[in-house]
Amino acid sequence: MRVLREKKKLLGEDHPNALLIMNNLASMYEEQGKLKEAEELEVQVIEGSEKALGREHPFTLTSIANLATIYSNQGRWKEVVELQVRVVEGRKKLLGEEHPETLMSMLRRVMARLQPDISCVGTPAFASPVQYY
């Protein structure tokens, strides 16, 4: 947290380096099971990234996908699908429909839509489909 405070103070809250540190901290919180803290930080990352880089910048879209992962770990499927739709549409515009990142985003969106209907609710929506069999 000290590094983050210093970067924000030195560069500003919406500087890409500060946003990257916040994003990494949110990922660490998520891995530790601190989902509320991870969510709060990732929302800040998205807001700052949209302001500094734009709504369809690759970092912004990745941050939105990260928030969708946090929501999936909380079982918030409707919000996961909404965020994944935004990621897919952004990546289509940015990278094209056939780009591997766009295709993976499409797969994640489909998996998020199916998640509440499969027998292993509670597992992350982005786990490998092979794990379900």
Q: What end-to-end distance do the CA atoms of the chain give, in Å? A: 41
Predicted model pTM: 0.77
CATH number reported for the structural domain that contains residue 88 in this entry: 1.25.40.10
Better-scored residue on pLDDT, 68 or 95: 68
**To 10 degrees, the CA torsion angle through 89, 91, 96, 100?**
-120
**Amino acid letter at 54?**
G
Residue 117 pLDDT class (50, 70, 90 cuts): low
What pLDDT digit, counting tens, does each position of 69-108 carry?
A: 999 999 998 899 899 889 989 888 987 888 788 778 777 7
Domain containing residue 39: 2-119
Residue 74 lies in a domain: yes
Residue 50 lies in a domain: yes
Residue 110 lies in a domain: yes
* Largest interatomic CA distance in the chain: 50
Residue 128 lies in a domain: no
Residue 126 lies in a domain: no
Output b/e per residue, 107-130; b: 16+ Cβ within 10 A.
ebbebbbebeeeeeeeeebbeeee
Q: How many domains does the chain have?
A: 1
Q: Which of 46-60, 87-101, 112-126 has the weakest average pLDDT?
A: 112-126
Please calculate the CA angle 33-45-78 and round it to the nearest 5 degrees.
Answer: 65
